[in-house]
Amino acid sequence: MEIRREHNSLIISGQVSKFDDYDTVKAAVEQLRMDTDGKLTLVFNDAQTIISALIGYFIKLRRVDDINSSFAPLKHQILY
């Protein structure tokens, strides 16, 4: 996972699927919110990133330690 900050934007690439990844993203978002008075943009570089970020969120809620998953291309996900 890679997190890059550009002005008021946070650009997230790669999978956000581990417990620590979620905490890292959350901390980066909170810091950017404080620095920009709540005016920020989150950019997920691909569909897999945003899906894995959501999975990371659910991992955190359910207190699961880790997940290992792969995703079909977006066009296949829409069809299912």
CB 78 within 8 A of CB 38: no
- Structure confidence at residue 75 (pLDDT): 39
Structural domain of 69: 2-79
Residue labelled with tokens 């659910």: 58
CA distance 63 to 5: 28
- Structure confidence at residue 26 (pLDDT): 81
Total domains present in the chain: 1
Q: Which two tokens stand for residue 80?
A: 């299912």
pLDDT per residue as tens, the chain (80 positions): 888 998 888 888 887 767 777 788 888 888 888 898 878 787 877 767 777 776 666 656 554 444 444 444 443 333 33
- Amino acid letter, 80: Y
DSSP H helical ranges for 1-80:
19-35, 47-62, 74-79
State pTM to two decimals: 0.59
